[in-house]
Structure 1
Amino acid sequence: MFGDFIRRLTGETDTTPSDVNPQVAFPALLVRVARADGDYADSEKAMIRGITQRWIGGSPFEAAEMVRQAEELEAGAADTVRFTRAIKDAVAYEARRGVIKDIWRVVLADGRRDKEEDALMRLIANLLGVNDRDSNLARKSVEDGR
């Protein structure tokens, strides 16, 4: 009962670990970050397609289809927890640091950082269990072109 109360307060409506496939959850999370500032730029879309292709190990066509599904999933999702939980359950900590680095690639793809994106990145890193230090190192690595 208390758990239901907390879920209603936080907007978390679905806590089932298998609710979202991690292969779609990650691109959906990338789309959520790209849309956070209200401008879903072409540079961000291209970055998401490239990261998704590497993530799923598929062709550009398969990656584009996965991103299309991710865009639909993200548009209908009330919260970010659905995505982060699926990733956290499926990906070891060391690999989640790489996930954070890829998310920073999307944040920085349009050449600017907005306060909405920064706030969402802090939330995502926390939900993925990645500490601030590792998130900052990942951001600096992306900024330095590594």
Structure 2
Amino acid sequence: MALTRRYIHHMFADFLNRLIQPQPETLPDADARLALGALLVRIARTDGEYAHEEAERIARILAARYGLDADAALDLRHRAEALEAEAPDTVRFTRAIKDAVPYEDRAAVMEALWEVVLADGIRDHEEDALMRLTASLLGINDRDSALARQRAEARMAG
């Protein structure tokens, strides 16, 4: 088991090093999925509680967004949770994603981020502040973030 943990730690360290290079290349699709999944987990953990509803919502978002079956979405979520735990501070991590992930993917993920924030039924000031910061660091303007929040609220109400 220790070898597996060491291997996983090395794999994520290598991934993060590539992500935070001064001139990162656009990430391959699998790496972009992992990075954006880790960002969903980071948002969910912001309030100090990673609720079951949030974890489930992340798996559903990953399944829908990437056309994954339940097992593949769960595996991606688990890898994203491990990456998030190893990732640098939110500012560096989010800026790295902005530099390495195409705009369309970053813009679309804002709605998913809002779904995670809203999943536990509680919206607090810390989450709102982190969402504003995250949108800015991803290069998403306030208007597009607000529209993404409204779409997420409508989907969750329906």
TM-score of the aligned structures, taking structure 1 as reference length? 0.80
Kindly provide the amino acid, as one letter, of the partner of residue 53 in structure 2. S
| CA distances 1:50-75 after superposition (whole Å, capped 9, x unpaired) | 11112332221111111111111101
Mapping for residues 1-146 of structure 1, pairs under 5 Å: 15-16=20-21, 17-18=24-25, 21-80=31-90, 81-86=92-97, 89-93=100-104, 95-145=105-155
Sequence identity (%): 44
Judge conservation of contact 2:38–2:80 (CA < 8 Å) in 1: yes
Unaligned 5+ segments in structure 2 are 1-16
Q: How many residues align?
A: 133
More helix by share: 2
* 23-32 or 71-80: bigger deviation: 71-80
Provide closer, same or farther for how the CA distance between residues 143 and 55 of structure 1 changes in structure 2, counting only shifts above 3 A.
closer
Provide closer, same or farther for how the CA distance between residues 55 and 85 of structure 1 changes in structure 2, counting only shifts above 3 A.
farther
Kindly provide the amino acid, as one letter, of the partner of residue 120 in structure 1. L
Unaligned 5+ segments in structure 1 are 1-12
Cα displacement (A) at 1:83:
4.5
Kindly provide the amino acid, as one letter, of the partner of residue 102 in structure 2. V
Task: Tell me the distance in 2 between the aligned counterparts of 1:108 and 1:65.
Answer: 23
Cα displacement (A) at 1:97:
2.6
| Match of residue 6 from structure 2 | none
RMSD: 2.2
| Match of residue 9 from structure 1 | none
Cα displacement (A) at 1:124:
0.9
Kindly provide the amino acid, as one letter, of the partner of residue 97 in structure 1. A
